[in-house]
Structure 1
Amino acid sequence: MRFLNIFLCAAIISVSSMSSAATLISTDNSLPMIGDSTSGIISLDKEHRVGQAWARTLRGSVPLLNDPIAYSYLYDLLWQLTAHSQLQDKRLELIVLDNPTLNAFAVPGGIVGIHGGLLLSAENEDELASVIAHELAHLSQRHFAAQLEESRRNRPFTLATMLASILIASADTQAGVAAITSSIAAQQSSRLAFSRQNEQEADRIGMQNLVAAGVDPNAMPRMFSRMQRAQRFQGARPPEFLLTHPVTESRIADSLNRAAQLPIPSDVKPSLYFDLTRTRLSVHFANNPQKVLNYYQTEAEASQTPLDYYGLAVASIRLNQFKQAQSALSKLPASWKQHLFVKLTEAELQIAAEAWLTATKQLEQLANIYPGHYAVELLLAKAYMGAEQPNKAIQVLNKLKLDYPTDINIWYLLSEALGQAGKTNAVHQARVEYFLLTGQIDKALQQITFATREPDLSSSDIARLKQLEIDTKRVREEMKMDL
C-alpha cells in the first residue's frame, strides 16, 4: 500500500542515516536521566525532534482520516491509556491515516499512528486498546534507543534490511516474502532475540497497563489470534501490522499465560463510543456507498437494532439522502439520542444539508456542555463558515489550535475562514503553518514572500513574517538533519 511504503521509506531513511545521527547525538548537551541508560544514547528531547520531523513528512505524504468524531474517540482513548503508561515524555501526537488496513505504529518522539482499518479489525474497544497499549509500551521502554545501542554493538544494522524487505513486500508479495526470509536467515540469533525481547516486553507492560486502565488483559491475546486468522485468510500477504509485529503461536500462548495471571476488571462493559465509531468507519471505507446503504437498510428493517439504524443514517448522509438519514436517527432509542456522537451526527446531517443556522444552534449548545471538545468545535467552525460567520469560526479555531497545534485540519479550516473574512495577511500566515506541518517547506517560504508583498503591513506584521521565515528555515534544517 502507498501509505505503508511512505511510512517505511521515512523509517529506512532515518535508519540508514544512523551513523551521521550518532555524531549529532554525541553532541547533544541534554543530560541523561538518572536510572535511564537510554538517555545517554539519545535524549528524550532529541527523540521528540526526530519524531516531529518525521511526522511532517508523514502528514504531507499520506491521506489522513478527515472524521472529527472518529479522531476525537481515538484521541480520548489514547490519553486514557497514556495515563496508566510509564511514558517519561508525554508529548504525544496522534495521527490517524485514511487507510482500511490493520496497522498501528509508534515513532520515537511520541508519534502514535493508527490506520482507520484497525477499528474494523477489532471486535470491541478492549481489543483496540490492547494494540494502542502495546505501541505505548514501545515508546515508554524506548526501544528505538535500545535498538540504536544494539546496532553499535552488532554491525551491520539489519533493521534497515528488514524495513527494506517489508517495503518490497508491500509492492510485490512474492519478492517481499523471499527478501524477508533471506534477511531473517542472515540475522544473528542474538539480534533476533533482542527483537523478540522488545515485543515480549511491550506485550507484558501493555497488558499490565490495560488492567490499570480497567481493560480486560485477555483482549491482547484475542487480538493476536484475530490477526493470525486474518493472515491465514489473506495467504502470503499478511496485514501490515504483522510485518513489523510478527504473531506466532508461542507469542499467543505467552500472552494467554500472562493474562491468566492478571486480574480482570470487574466493571468491563461494551463501549457505545467504539461501536458508533466502528460503524462510521465501515461506511467510510465501503467501496460502494449504495451497497453499504442497502445493507444497513436491510439490516435495520430486519433487526431494528439501534446500531443498524445509526449505520443507515451515516450511509444516507454520505449519499445526500437527508430525509432517510433523519428518519433513521429518529428511530434511535431516547438514550442513544442523548449520546454525544449521535448528536454530532445529527449536526453533520444539518451541515451536509446546508441547514447552517440549525447546525450552529445545535453545536453551540453542545459547545456549552463540552467546551474544547475537538469534534464539537471543529464542526461548529464549519457551520459558522457555512452560515457566513467567519469571525466566529476564526475565534473557535484559534482556541482549538492551542490544544491541537499540529492538527492540519484546524490550520486548513482557519486559513479558509480567514480568507472568507478578508484577512489576507493572516491567511498567508495560517498557510505557512499548514505547509510547515506537512513538510512543504518551499511552499511555506513562498507564502511568506506573498505576505511581504501585501500593502499596509504594520511593524508587528513584518516582525511576525521575519520570525516565520526564521522558523521555516530552522524546520528545513531539522528535517535534513533528522531524516
Structure 2
Amino acid sequence: MSAEINLPLLGDESSSNISPQKEFELGRAWLKAYRSRVNENHDPLLRNYLEKLISKLASKSRLEDRRIELIVINNSTLNAFAVPGGIIGVHTGLFLYAKTEDELASVIAHEIAHLSQRHFARRLNQQKKNRVVSMAGLLASLILAATAGSDAGMAGLSATQTMGMNTALRYSRQNEREADRLGLQTMIASGMNPSAMSSMFEGMLKLSRHASSKIPEFLRSHPLTQDRVVDAKNRINQLKVKNYSDNFEFHLMRARAIIAIKEDPNLSLNYFKNQLSDTGKNKNAAIYGVALSNMAMRNFTTTDKLINKLMKISPNELLYKMAQIESYRNQEKYTTAIEKTLSLLKYDTKSYPLRMSLAETYLKANRFFDSEKILNSLKNSHPNNPEVWFQLAEVRGLSGDIPGVHLARSEYFILIGVFDKARDQLMYARKLLVNDYNKKLLIDQRLKNLEKIEEDIKNL
C-alpha cells in the first residue's frame, strides 16, 4: 500500500457544490481507505441484523439515495457515524450502551438524518475556504476513534489528514437539532419507541459528565447538551402514548457483540454468568452468551446442554438453531450440520448468514466444490463484501485453483484499498493463465479498471 491515502480535499473551491453522485463515489473511495486500517467485524449474523435495521429506518426517512453500505468495527467505544455517500459505521461498543433495539435505532436514525440532510456537504459549502475540513480529515478522525490512535491505524496519514481530523465530523448544534427532529420522525414512522431517544440521550449525557478526558468519539462529534435532552423529551411528551414490544433478537445480537469485544472467552463467560440473575428474556440472552463462550473454549458438552435448554423454550429461534449448527461443525459433525442448514435454507434461500455458515461447513468437510459454489453465488449478491472474497480465496486455494486464488484475493484487496497488492495478485493470475486468451483479456480489463479506481480516488 502506498505511504499516503490520497483522498480529495472537499474543502477547496472546485468542490463547493458537491453532487449526490459525487458524494456516493467519494464515500465508496473513503470506505476502501478506512477498511485497510480498522478491525472490521465480519460476523454474518450481526451484519445481517444491522443491515435489516438500517433498511427499516432508511425506508421511513427522508433519505433519497438508499444505497447504504455498512461497516461494523470491533471496538468497545460508543460510536456510530455517517459518511457522505451512504456509509454508516457502527462500533460494536454501541451495543454495550444501548439497552434495547429502540435505543440502538435512535442512534442509527440520527445518523441517517445527517445523511438525508447532507450536513457534511452543506458545512463544506459554508467553509469552502477551510481546506482542513475534508474527507481525509474525516478518515483520520474515525481511524483514531477505531484504533485508539495506534501506530498501525494512523500510519501513512498525511499531515493534512491528521490536521483536519479534529474538525472533520463535528456537527453544529443546529445540525444536531435537525438530526434529532428527523431521527425522531423516522423512529415513529418505523413503529419504534420514540422515548428511547431521550433515554439514550440521558445515558450519554451522564456518561459525558463522568468520562473526564475520555469522552467517547460520538459525543465529541455530536455535541450533546441538556437543552437537546429536554427538547427531545418535550417532543416525545406531545405524542400519543403507545405500547411497544422489545425485540428479543437485539439482546442475542448484543451478546454476540460483547463476545467480540471481550475477545477472551473466559472474560465473556464471566460477564454472562453475572447476568444470569436477570429474569425473562434477558436471562435467556445471558444463557446464549454463556453457551457461545463455552463453544469458543471447546466445552461442547456444556454448550449443547445450554443450547438444547434454549431451544425447548423457543424452538423456532433461528439464532439458537444456528448456534447448534456451529457447535456440530466445531465437533466435526459435518453431515448433521449440513442437513440442518439446508433445512433452514428452504425457508430463506437468500439468507446471507445461513449461506456463509453452509459454505464454511462444506469447506471444513473438504467439500470444496460445494463451498465454492455457494461463495460464487454470494460474490454476485454481495460483491462489496470483503469477507466473501476472502473466504472464496481460501476455498479456491484448498481446491488447488491457484489462478482463482489470485483473482479472488485481488478483489479482496481492492475492497480494502490495498491497490498495490491487488495489482500483484492480478499479475500472478495472468502469468498462470498465459495460454488462456479469454481470461487474460478479462484480467487486462480488470487492471485497467484498477487504474481507473485509483485515478477516480485522486480526482473525485
Q: What's the TM-score once normalised by structure 2's chain length?
A: 0.87
**Unaligned stretches of 5+ in structure 2?**
151-162
> Residue by residue, what CA displacement relative to the aligned partner does 1:206-255 show, whole Å, maximum 9, x if unpaired?
10010000011111111111111222332221111101001110111111
**Unaligned stretches of 5+ in structure 1?**
1-8, 27-40, 173-182
Q: Give the ranges of 4+ consecutive aligned residues of structure 1 lying more than 6 Å apart after TM superposition.
A: 160-169, 301-304
Size of the aligned set, in residue pairs, is 434
Provide the secondary structure at the position in 2 that maps to 1:236: coil
Mapped to 1, the partners of 2:446 and 2:243 lie a distance apart of 51
> Residue by residue, what CA displacement relative to the aligned partner does 1:265-287 show, whole Å, maximum 9, x if unpaired?
x4521111101011122222226
Mapped to 2, the partners of 1:420 and 1:201 lie a distance apart of 53
Question: Does residue 1:258 correspond to 2:235, yes or no?
Answer: yes
The letter for the 1-side match of 2:44 is P
Quote the offset at 1:302 in angstroms: 8.9
Quote the offset at 1:55 in angstroms: 0.3
Question: Does residue 1:481 correspond to 2:455, yes or no?
Answer: no
Quote the offset at 1:85 in angstroms: 1.3
Greater helix share, structure number: 1
Question: Does residue 1:140 correspond to 2:116, yes or no?
Answer: yes
Q: Which residue is 1:472 aligned to?
A: 450
Question: Does residue 1:60 correspond to 2:36, yes or no?
Answer: yes
Question: Does residue 1:197 correspond to 2:190, yes or no?
Answer: no
Question: Does residue 1:232 correspond to 2:225, yes or no?
Answer: no
Mapped to 1, the partners of 2:328 and 2:58 lie a distance apart of 35
Provide the secondary structure at the position in 2 that maps to 1:86: coil
Q: Which residue is 1:268 aligned to?
A: 244
The letter for the 1-side match of 2:403 is N
Provide the secondary structure at the position in 1 that maps to 2:407: helix
Q: Which residue is 1:99 aligned to?
A: 75
Provide the secondary structure at the position in 1 that maps to 2:346: helix
Q: Which residue is 2:11 aligned to?
A: 18
Q: Which residue is 1:347 aligned to?
A: 325
Q: Which residue is 1:109 aligned to?
A: 85
Moved more, 334-343 or 236-245: 334-343
The letter for the 1-side match of 2:65 is D
Mapped to 2, the partners of 1:425 and 1:166 lie a distance apart of 36
Mapped to 1, the partners of 2:278 and 2:61 lie a distance apart of 44
> Residue by residue, what CA displacement relative to the aligned partner does 1:74-121 show, whole Å, maximum 9, x if unpaired?
111111111111111111100000111110000011100000110111
Q: Which residue is 1:42 aligned to?
A: 18
Question: Does residue 1:84 correspond to 2:63, yes or no?
Answer: no
Aligned counterpart for 1:437 among listed residues 408, 415, 423: 415
Provide the secondary structure at the position in 2 that maps to 1:332: helix
Moved more, 298-307 or 349-358: 298-307
Question: Does residue 1:208 correspond to 2:185, yes or no?
Answer: yes
> Residue by residue, what CA displacement relative to the aligned partner does 1:283-309 show, whole Å, maximum 9, x if unpaired?
222265224324534654896942222
Q: Which residue is 1:223 aligned to?
A: 200
Mapped to 2, the partners of 1:477 and 1:166 lie a distance apart of 24
Provide the secondary structure at the position in 2 that maps to 1:216: coil
User: Could you tell me whether the CA contact under 8 Å between 1:100 and 1:116 is conserved in 2?
Assistant: yes
Q: Which residue is 1:6 aligned to?
A: none
User: Could you tell me whether the CA contact under 8 Å between 1:356 and 1:387 is conserved in 2?
Assistant: yes
Mapped to 1, the partners of 2:93 and 2:321 lie a distance apart of 24
Q: What's the TM-score once normalised by structure 1's chain length?
A: 0.83
The letter for the 1-side match of 2:205 is Q
Quote the offset at 1:341 in angstroms: 1.2
RMSD: 2.8
Pair 1:15–1:431, CA change in 2 (3 A): closer
Quote the offset at 1:457 in angstroms: 3.8
Identity of matched residues, %: 35
